[in-house]
Structure 1
Amino acid sequence: MVVELMTSAGYFNIGDFIPSLAWMDLQGIQRGMKKLHKRWDALIARMIEEHQSTAKQRASRPDFLDIIMSQRDNCDGQGGRLSDVHIKALLLIT
């Protein structure tokens, strides 16, 4: 999926150069990127679910995702709580 993402991001897109044609998605690049986004989202959601189910095995040595997920319900009153969307974004940038 990483290779597909990098390849798709590098395609020449007519809509980038002729904005009035962008809404038509003549080459199907936007449609492909949306499908790829759904696949990434499903993969990360599955990773989070699997990580939650095996959390007790890592209780003595938590990893990055364990620490983030433990902060999910800690609400400090100012920033709100971490949602699954926030956790997915953190996983994508690390």
Structure 2
Amino acid sequence: MLTEGKLVRDLIPEIIRANGAEPEVYVADPVEYRRRLREKLGEEVSEYMEADETNAPEELADVLEVAYALAADHGVDPAQLEKIRVAKARERSGFAERIVWTGNR
């Protein structure tokens, strides 16, 4: 049994019940929720980094799910987040050209 617990997706308790166990859960307060979302983002990024080519898209989707949850916690919906991303891309572009900076002369 985990003593500190971890943030899980909303349907996980139902899935555990459907498998015949009774989960021990509670709802985090706003401060703990944001902390745990940040931890979850690190966890999901680590899982993506370790994933093979077949599993990488699924792990990347998990990263995106946590990013959307963090954005919502900051009062930003997915559409607003996309507008912020587009504005930044207009200002500095994206990563499509695979440019690697090694310093200045």
Determine if the TM-score, normalized by the shorter chain, exceeds 0.5.
no
Q: Give the TM-score normalised by the residue count of structure 1.
A: 0.33
Give 1 or 2: higher helix fraction.
Answer: 1
